[in-house]
Every structure is written in structure tokens, then in C-alpha cells.
Amino acid sequence: MRFTYAYKTSDGRRHEAAIDAESREAVFEALRRQGIRAIKVVAADGSKANGEKEEGRRKKEKVWRGVRLASLVLLVPLVLVVLILYRKAPERQANSPALSSPRHQIYGDPAIMEGFERGDFSSVLDRPGDRMLAVFAQPGRLMCQGGFNPKWLSVTQLEALSKYAKDELEPGHDLPVDVASPREVRELKQIVNGMRREMREYLANGNGTLRSYWRRLNERTCEEAQIYERTLRELENETDQSIRAERNAALRAMGLRTVPRPRSREAK
């Protein structure tokens, strides 16, 4: 299906272009991979919402939804088996290097998480660069007070980050993860290790500068928050539990929070 989209370049100019995709979400995903942040996406044929115009198209989407749910049902037992086998090998975990972990929501002890949510990582992360990465560790939410904007980086901070990128992002310099540490601390360090590798590849491939990388992290978090808020609105009055399960599975796959079931509206 054909969509038109609008976006602005760094000089503030507005541009419009067209793209073929199955839905508006697919358009946003494709543009995000290209580093484009669209400000408007409209179906070229004037259809509503995600470009669905024909009843047959909606039926086809429903069939695919069933297929995806069936795949999820088959995948969950396999994941559980892998987790059980992995947890039964503590010696292997202790002797193995820290593994990178995809960004995801960290839950646990409020005494630990309260500090993390404020952006206080000094007790578990020694390097300023690691603490700055940790701000973006959880998809769709910033772990800091008062928000974050890479434009605020001072010359001194940029110099410190340059030294961090040069001296501390070399392969083999990942943060050590002690299996005796609280689970929340282990998860945070594993996520930061994954982000360190992502940052190393970003700079090594010539994709941009330190400042642009931090801007990219901020934009990605904002986009994830928008996806969550949009899903939250879409499910506000949704009664079809299969649809709720599918949308929550999609959020979970991106590391985002899931949308809880609404409270009963019965007057009692």
C-alpha cells in the first residue's frame, strides 16, 4: 500500500516523500531504520487508520494475527526450557564472560529500583559514560530526573565521552557481571554492555559522532514511548482478549511495558 510521509531535516526544512508498506506502523519502522523521524504519515488512497480500506484486508490481518499468536504459544515453552537449563548451571555462569542483553524493563527490589529510576547509578557503575548509557537502558522511559537532551552536553562532558569511547569501549573491556550481585544490578550491567557494543559499532562504522549517538538514543526512547502510549490508547476500550494479547506480545518483544487489563466498569 502507498503512503506519503513528511519529515524535517536538521536545517528545519520540511520534506515529503512516498513509500510502500503494509501499514502506518510498518512505515514508521522502515523510516526509523533509515534514521528518518516522520512527523506525518498518510495513506495515499485516503483510507483510515493504518491504511485498511477493504473488508478482505481486515480478514487477512485477522488470520495472520491468529498465526502469530499460535507461533507465540509454541515459542514460550521453548524459552522456558532454555531458561531452566541456563539457571541450572551456576558454575558456567560464574566462569563465562558477561553477555550483552537486549534493552528491557528492569523490575525488582524498590530499594534498588528507586535509585535507578532517579538516574543514581554511582553505586554500581564507576564510569560516567556507563552511567549516561544506563539512562537509556529501559525502552520507552528515561531513568533520570528532569529528562535528558544530548544538546545539553558541555565541552567537558564531550571530552570525557571521547576519552570513554577511546579508552574503555575496546573489545574485552565490558563490565564484569558478578552472579552474586542483586538481579537488578546484573540486568542493568548486561544491558549497558550491550549498549557499549552498539555504540562501538556505531562509531566504528562511521555512522556519526558521539553527540549524534546520544541524540539517537534519546530519539529512540521517545519513539518507543510514543508506541507504548499509542497502544495504550488503542487498547483502552478493547474487549477482544486475543487482540490485547497480540499487542502486549508486540510490546514485550520491543522490551516495552505491557498494557494491563482495564478495571471492571461495573457499578459495584
Write down the pLDDT at residue 231.
Answer: 93
Is-above-0.85 flag for pTM? no
Let me know if residue 267 belongs to a domain: no
| Whether residue 163 is found in the same domain as residue 257 | yes
Let me know if residue 93 belongs to a domain: no
| Whether residue 42 is found in the same domain as residue 156 | no
Let me know if residue 268 belongs to a domain: no
Residues spanned by the domain of 76: 54-88
Instruction: Give counts: helices (H), strands (E), the chain.
Output: 9, 3
* End-of-domain residue from the set 62, 88, 114: 88
Task: Give the residues across from 7 on adjacent strands.
Answer: 15, 38
Write down the pLDDT at residue 51.
Answer: 43
| Whether residue 58 is found in the same domain as residue 133 | no
pLDDT single digits (tens) 140-176: 988 887 655 555 567 777 777 777 777 777 777 788 9
Write down the pLDDT at residue 85.
Answer: 44
| Whether residue 232 is found in the same domain as residue 202 | yes
C-alpha cell at 242: 486475543
pLDDT single digits (tens) 100-113: 468 999 999 999 99
| Whether residue 84 is found in the same domain as residue 201 | no
Write down the pLDDT at residue 53.
Answer: 45
Say how far apart CA 120 and CA 111 lie, in whole Å: 12
Phi-psi region of 49 (alpha: psi -120 to 50; beta: other; left: phi over 0): left
Let me know if residue 15 belongs to a domain: yes
C-alpha cell at 44: 495515499
Say how far apart CA 94 and CA 17 lie, in whole Å: 52
| Whether residue 178 is found in the same domain as residue 139 | yes
Say which CATH number the domain at 32 has. 3.10.20
Three-state DSSP class for residue 167: helix
Q: Which helix (H) or strand (E) holds 40?
A: strand 38-43
Write down the pLDDT at residue 65.
Answer: 67
Write down the pLDDT at residue 139.
Answer: 93
| Whether residue 236 is found in the same domain as residue 144 | yes
Task: Give the residues across from 192 on adjacent strands.
Answer: none
- For the packed helices 210-234 and 241-253, what is the interaxial angle rounded to 10 degrees? 170
Say how far apart CA 86 and CA 160 lie, in whole Å: 38
The phi and psi torsions of 52 (rounded to 5 degrees) equal -80, 120
| Whether residue 177 is found in the same domain as residue 240 | yes
List of the chain residues with pLDDT < 50 = 49-54, 79, 81-100, 265-268
| Whether residue 161 is found in the same domain as residue 198 | yes
| Whether residue 146 is found in the same domain as residue 75 | no
